[in-house]
Amino acid sequence: MVAIPKDPPWMKRVEEMMHRADAIAEEMNKPEVASSGVLIVKLARERGQLERVVKPYREYRSATTQLEESVAILNDSSSDPELRELAQAEQETLEGKRETIIRQLEERLVTSNDANINSIIVEIRAGTGGDEAALFAGELLDMYTAMAARKGFKTELLSISSSDLGGIKEAVLNITGEEVYLNYRFEGGGHRVQRVPKTEAQGRIHTSAATVAILPEPEEVEVEINWEKDVAEHVSRAGGPGGQNVNKVSSAIKLEHLATGITVSMRDDKSQHKNRAKARRILLSRVYEHHMSQQRAQRETERRSMVGSGDRSDRIRTYNFPQNRCTDHRINKDVFDLNKILVEGNLDDFLAELADRELKLRLESL
């Protein structure tokens, strides 16, 4: 007797997603729903996210039905020999197709939420190491900008605080593009560099650090903030370089989200309006990430052993200049080409293996 391989245990969840997608389609056809712009956008977004998984699942079910028919012929001893030969060939083809779709479903099931994030906020801050840490933070900013260019993403520098030697104390970068979060999701954490600083007269190797935070930038319908009631706004003069306007006009903005205590300060622009708009974007992302991190608490506990928690205190990667080596400590992988990584922004060798390990871990928790 020829048997059909059983469905993976997580396939029931995919079937539930299909039923939800069908229910949304029916709901969107209702006149009262179709007339509500906000609701129709929300439902369309949810359905689009589900269809990323549901579409290959329908193909899987179709292939399974065809496979069942072929197996029935093979298990029928009275079947015509030629028909059995065709069924045998079809069985092998359909089993291969099912396995391919299963692998595709696995990847899409665990990344469906992440894949729909098309805008992120990248926050880079110099850590221990003084001027050398600031120089390294600047190189990380260049690395992520180059990576975005390689992948066709758009970048916007929202805020930057420079150091005396040309590095950066802090920078906030917006990167947008299809599935951009999937490409940057593993970059949050502590990065350290080992090299001889330009200011080191005796040639000694120093270790400096910088931290990176990757925050999804949600659309406003995903995070509801009443800017009048939920946020306290503080206005002050923006000191520092920039002429009399910057020093005398109250253009610096500080926003505080009252429920979470999250604050954002913005003083880069002479315009109070522009500073407020930038601060709101960053605050929105931080509040969204705050809520998402609470929802992911259990999953994050399970992830720490493999891919790190994403906390800024974690050491996720070391860039060793004397050895021309970059090490990702979460997967114990070395790449001996710092130019490829820091200058070209090519992190694909790391990201592929991190994604594989993340996939295995998340499947275990489904």
Task: Indicate the pLDDT class of residue 115, thresholds 50, 70 and 90.
Answer: confident
Distance from C-alpha of 328 to C-alpha of 335, rounded to nearest angstrom = 9
H-run or E-run covering 319: strand 315-320
| Position 241 pLDDT exceeds 60 | no
| Position 69 pLDDT exceeds 70 | yes
Q: Same structural domain for residues 60 and 150?
A: no
- For 254-303, how does the pLDDT look when each residue is reduced to its tens digit (9 = 90+)? 999 998 899 999 887 788 888 999 998 899 888 888 877 776 664 445 33
Helix, strand, coil percentages, rounded to 5, for the chain: 50, 20, 30
Q: What percent of the chain has pLDDT over 70?
A: 88
The CATH number that applies at residue 282 is: 3.30.160.20
More confident residue, 308 or 148: 148
Instruction: Flag the least confident range among 104-113, 119-128, 357-366.
Output: 357-366
Q: Same structural domain for residues 109 and 125?
A: no
H-run or E-run covering 89: helix 81-115
Token pair, residue 295, equals: 């929802």
Res 304: pLDDT: 43
φ, ψ of residue 348 in degrees (nearest 5):
-60, -35
Task: With respect to residue 5, please indicate whether it lies within any of the assigned structural domains.
Answer: no
Partners of residue 246 on adjacent β-strands: none
More confident residue, 363 or 354: 354
What sections of 243-347 are H helices per DSSP? 244-248, 272-295, 297-307, 338
Pairing status of strand 189-195 against strand 168-176? unpaired
Task: With respect to residue 39, please indicate whether it lies within any of the assigned structural domains.
Answer: yes
Q: Same structural domain for residues 106 and 165?
A: no
Instruction: Flag the least confident range among 19-23, 93-97, 235-239.
Output: 235-239
Q: Do 303 and 361 touch, CB atoms closer than 8 A?
A: yes
H-run or E-run covering 194: strand 189-195
Res 57: pLDDT: 93
Q: Same structural domain for residues 330 and 213?
A: yes
Task: With respect to residue 26, please indicate whether it lies within any of the assigned structural domains.
Answer: yes
Q: Same structural domain for residues 261 and 360?
A: no
Total number of domains in the chain = 3
Distance from C-alpha of 190 to C-alpha of 124, rounded to nearest angstrom = 10
Q: What is the mean pLDDT of the chain?
A: 84
Q: Same structural domain for residues 264 and 307?
A: no
Distance from C-alpha of 282 to C-alpha of 216, rounded to nearest angstrom = 10
Residue in the block written with tokens 């439902």: 43
Task: With respect to residue 157, please indicate whether it lies within any of the assigned structural domains.
Answer: yes
Find the domain containing 83 and state its range.
11-113
Q: Do 119 and 163 touch, CB atoms closer than 8 A?
A: no
Res 114: pLDDT: 81
Task: With respect to residue 329, please indicate whether it lies within any of the assigned structural domains.
Answer: yes
- For 5-56, how does the pLDDT look when each residue is reduced to its tens digit (9 = 90+)? 888 888 888 999 999 999 999 998 888 877 777 788 888 888 888 888 899 9
Distance from C-alpha of 170 to C-alpha of 56, rounded to nearest angstrom = 43
Q: Same structural domain for residues 178 and 300?
A: yes
Q: Do 325 and 311 touch, CB atoms closer than 8 A?
A: no
Q: Same structural domain for residues 109 and 129?
A: no
Token pair, residue 336, equals: 């001996």
- End-to-end CA distance of the chain: give it in Å, rounded: 32
Residue 197's CB is within 10 A of a number of other CB atoms, namely: 20
Distance from C-alpha of 188 to C-alpha of 258, rounded to nearest angstrom = 25
Task: With respect to residue 354, please indicate whether it lies within any of the assigned structural domains.
Answer: yes
| Position 308 pLDDT exceeds 80 | no
Q: Do 133 and 210 touch, CB atoms closer than 8 A?
A: yes
Q: Do 209 and 190 touch, CB atoms closer than 8 A?
A: yes
More confident residue, 14 or 239: 14
Task: Indicate the pLDDT class of residue 210, thresholds 50, 70 and 90.
Answer: very high
Q: What percent of the chain has pLDDT over 90?
A: 39
